[in-house]
C-alpha cells in the first residue's frame, strides 16, 4: 500500500511489485518501436479546452532492437523526471514512481503522431494529451516567466530558522555576497534535483562568496512541525548550509512571502542576487538530470554566471 501523506485525507493506492522483470508493461521482444520514432515532440496537455491547455516538450529515446523507451516531458514549471516504458503494439506506455508522485502516460502512435494520450497522476488526476513531432519546438525561457515588481521588497522577505526565530533576508548577512534564494518544497522532486545541483555549486563557489538560501513551503504552517521534515531533508542531501521555512505549501502563500515577485508559478523558483544586492534574474521551474542536454546546458550556464558575478567587486 502506498500512502501519500502530503495529500489531504486518506490517500492510499494498493500496488503489487515483482522483482527481476526486464520490462515494465509488455515483453521486450513482443513489439519493436517504429525505426524512425521521433526523439522530440511538441506536446499539448488538456488540448480540448484552450483555457486549460498547456504546452510541453516530449523527449524520448528508444532502445535498439527492443520495445523499451525512456524519456520525459518538460513543461514551463519543470519536468516529469525519469520515465520508462514500452511500445505495446501501437500503444506507448510510460510511467515513474518516486515516492512522491505516481505518473502514468499512455498514447496511440500513428504515422509519427501521438494521439488519444492520457496522463494520470495517482488516483486524483487525469487529463488528455497529444504529441506532434517537432525537432525545433522550445518552451518559453524559464528566466522570462516571473517578473520583479519591487526589487527592494526582497530584503523584507521573512522566514523561520530551525530555532523558531523569524528573520528577514536582510538579517542573514548577505551583504557583498552572491546569493541564490531558492523557493522549494521537500515534497517536490524537481526541487530535490535542483537542491543537489545547488549543493555542488556551493562546494565549488562558497569560499569565493556564494550563499544558498533555501526557503521551503511545507504541508504545515507550524515551523516546529515543518523542521522535523526540513532537518531530515537537509541530512539526507548532506546540505552544508541552513534551510529555512517560509510557510504552508501553495503558490499563493509563497507569493505573499515574496512580494518582490509578480507571482510564484512553480516550485522551485530561484532568485539570483549579485554582490551589490541587485536581482540578476528569476528562474522559474527546473529542468533536472532527466532532461539530459537541457540540464547540462543549465548547469554550465549557471557556473559561468556565478563565476562572473563572483568576480565582480
Q: Are residues 123 and 43 in the same domain?
A: yes
* The model scores a pTM over 0.85: yes
Q: Are residues 173 and 84 in the same domain?
A: no
State the average pLDDT over residues 33-60: 90
pLDDT tops 60 at residue 30: no
Place of cell 532537518: 231
Boundary of a domain, candidates 83, 104, 133: 133
At 133 the three-state DSSP class reads: strand
pLDDT of residue 224: 97
Q: Are residues 148 and 43 in the same domain?
A: no
pLDDT of residue 33: 60
- Domain range for 65: 2-133
What is the distance between the alpha carbons of residues 272 and 198, in angstroms, rounded to a whole number?
A: 12
DSSP, res 140:
P
pLDDT of residue 34: 61
Counting every residue written for the chain, the total comes to 313
Q: Are residues 69 and 10 in the same domain?
A: yes
Q: What is the pLDDT of residues 243-277, one digit of tens each?
A: 999 999 999 999 999 999 999 999 999 999 999 99
pLDDT of residue 282: 98
Boundary of a domain, candidates 101, 133, 165: 133
* Structural domains counted in the chain: 2
Q: Quick one: 125 exposed, middle or buried, by C-beta within 10 A (0-12, 13-18, 19+)?
A: exposed
Place of cell 515483453: 27
Q: Are residues 106 and 217 in the same domain?
A: no
pLDDT of residue 9: 83
Cα distances (Å, whole numbers) of residue 277 to 19, 33, 151, 177, 309: 53, 53, 9, 8, 11
Cα distances (Å, whole numbers) of residue 173 to 164, 185, 267: 18, 24, 25
CATH number at residue 216: 3.40.30.10
Q: Are residues 119 and 100 in the same domain?
A: yes
At 180 the three-state DSSP class reads: strand
Is the distance from CB of 309 to CB of 276 less than 8 angstroms? no
Q: What is the pLDDT of residues 144-200, one digit of tens each?
A: 999 999 999 999 999 999 999 999 999 999 999 999 999 999 999 999 999 999 999
Boundary of a domain, candidates 72, 98, 133: 133
Q: Are residues 127 and 193 in the same domain?
A: no
Q: Are residues 104 and 151 in the same domain?
A: no
Place of cell 483555457: 51
Q: Which backbone phi and psi does 149 adopt, to 5 degrees?
A: -105, -25
pLDDT of residue 313: 78
Q: Are residues 270 and 249 in the same domain?
A: yes
Q: What is the pLDDT of residues 274-308, one digit of tens each?
A: 999 999 999 999 999 999 999 999 999 999 999 99
Residue 90: cis peptide before it, omega within 30 degrees of 0:
no
Is the distance from CB of 48 to CB of 54 less than 8 angstroms? no
C-alpha cell at 158: 521573512
State the average pLDDT over residues 86-113: 92
Q: What is the pLDDT of residues 192-210, one digit of tens each?
A: 999 999 999 999 999 999 9
At 235 the three-state DSSP class reads: helix
Share the mean pLDDT of the chain.
94
Amino acid at each position: 500500500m502506498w500512502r501519500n501523506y502530503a495529500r489531504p485525507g486518506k490517500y492510499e493506492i494498493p500496488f503489487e511489485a515483482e522483482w527481476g522483470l526486464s520490462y515494465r508493461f509488455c515483453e521486450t521482444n513482443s513489439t519493436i518501436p517504429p525505426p524512425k520514432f521521433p526523439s522530440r515532440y511538441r506536446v499539448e496537455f488538456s488540448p480540448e479546452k484552450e483555457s486549460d491547455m498547456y504546452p510541453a516538450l516530449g523527449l524520448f529515446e528508444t532502445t535498439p532492437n527492443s520495445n523499451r523507451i525512456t524519456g520525459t516531458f518538460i513543461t514551463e514549471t519543470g519536468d516529469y523526471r525519469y520515465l520508462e516504458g514500452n511500445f505495446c503494439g501501437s500503444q506507448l506506455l510510460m510511467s515513474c514512481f518516486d515516492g512522491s508522485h505516481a505518473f502514468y502516460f499512455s498514447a496511440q502512435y500513428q504515422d509519427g503522431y501521438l494521439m488519444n494520450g492520457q496522463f494520470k497522476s495517482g488516483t486524483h488526476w487525469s487529463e488528455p494529451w497529444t504529441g506532434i513531432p517537432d525537432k525545433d519546438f522550445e518552451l518559453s525561457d524559464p528566466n522570462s516567466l516571473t517578473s520583479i515588481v519591487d526589487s527592494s521588497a526582497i530584503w523584507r522577505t521573512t522566514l523561520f530558522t530551525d530555532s523558531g526565530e523569524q528573520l528577514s533576508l536582510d538579517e542573514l548577512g548577505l551583504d557583498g555576497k552572491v546569493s541564490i534564494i531558492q523557493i522549494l518544497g521537500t515534497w517536490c522532486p524537481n526541487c530535490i534535483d535542483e537542491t543537489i545541483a545547488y549543493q555542488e555549486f556551493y562546494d565549488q563557489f562558497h569560499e569565493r562568496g556564494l550563499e544558498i538560501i533555501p526557503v521551503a513551503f511545507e504541508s504545515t504552517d507550524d515551523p516546529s512541525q515543518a523542521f522535523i521534515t526540513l532537518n531530515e531533508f537537509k541530512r539526507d542531501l548532506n546540505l552544508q548550509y541552513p534551510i529555512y521555512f517560509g510557510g504552508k505549501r501553495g503558490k499563493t502563500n509563497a507569493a505573499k512571502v515574496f512580494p518582490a515577485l509578480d507571482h510564484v508559478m512553480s516550485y522551485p523558483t530561484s532568485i539570483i542576487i549579485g554582490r551589490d544586492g541587485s536581482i540578476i534574474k528569476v528562474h522559474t521551474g527546473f529542468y533536472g538530470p532527466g532532461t539530459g542536454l537541457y540540464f547540462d546546458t543549465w548547469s554550465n550556464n549557471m557556473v559561468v554566471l556565478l563565476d562572473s558575478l563572483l568576480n565582480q567587486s
